[in-house]
Amino acid sequence: MKKLTIILAHGNYAKSIANKTIIEQLKTKYPDATIRNITELYPDFNIDIEAEQKNLMEADVVLLQFPVYWYNMPAILKQWMDKALAYGFAYGENGDKLKGKTLIASITAGGRMEAYTPIGSMHFYLRPFFSNIESTAYYCQMDFAEPILGYGNIYIPNVVNTPEVVTERATEQADRLIKVLEELLK
């Protein structure tokens, strides 16, 4: 079976319900997967480029798992991409180390799907963002898998949702993600 690496970026993973639920489901299904909690590993944003590139070279499928922050990825994930996907490694002269690997993103959003209408959906709002991830994959000679989105993943006590509702939604997202990963990891 192919090797899965999960790049987890979450500013407050300790209090997360959705991302924790998804990661726990993935750990159960793929106990040999490598999980890199880059927020925990690099609280100072000082990415260990050598360690991250070594991890990427060992992977067949790279999953980016993160919440949406103001219609974008967490800053640590952007920093990780800027540093780990370097010239001469991921692109440019001799930059073919990720060629043939697959990149997929699993993204949680606090707002319900209805919050992103009438204009469209999260896909509409994040079109430039998705285009960025897709373009990054192609620039690094990686295959791109359509992102898996989950909505309504915020819990504010006595205001929005319950932990059980968020867990249920995240479990549904994890199930969809696992179906895609089963195909990618064959």
**Digit-coded pLDDT (tens) for 71-125:** 789 999 999 999 999 999 999 999 999 999 999 999 998 877 766 655 555 566 6
CATH superfamily, domain at 4-184 = Flavodoxin domain (3.40.50.360)
How large is the C-alpha radius of gyration of the chain?
Answer: 16
Q: What is the pTM of this model?
A: 0.93
Contact indicator for 147, 130 with CB cutoff of 8 Å = yes
Domains in the chain: boundaries: 4-184
Instruction: Return d(Cα 68, Cα 72) in angstroms, integer.
Output: 5
Looking at residue 9, its pLDDT comes to: 98
Calculate what percentage of the chain has a pLDDT beyond 70.
Answer: 92
Phi, psi angle pair for 138, to nearest 5°: -65, -40
Instruction: Determine which of 44-53, 64-73, 122-131 has the lowest per-residue pLDDT on average.
Output: 122-131
What 164-169 contacts at long range (C-beta under 8 Å, 24+ apart), as own/partner pairs, is 166/17, 166/18, 166/21, 167/17, 167/18, 167/21, 169/18
Task: Take residue 77 and report the two structure tokens written for it.
Answer: 């994930």
Looking at residue 101, its pLDDT comes to: 98
Task: Take residue 112 and report the two structure tokens written for it.
Answer: 């319900």
How does residue 164 score in pLDDT terms, banded at 50, 70 and 90? very high
How does residue 54 score in pLDDT terms, banded at 50, 70 and 90? very high
Instruction: Return d(Cα 90, Cα 53) in angstroms, integer.
Output: 9
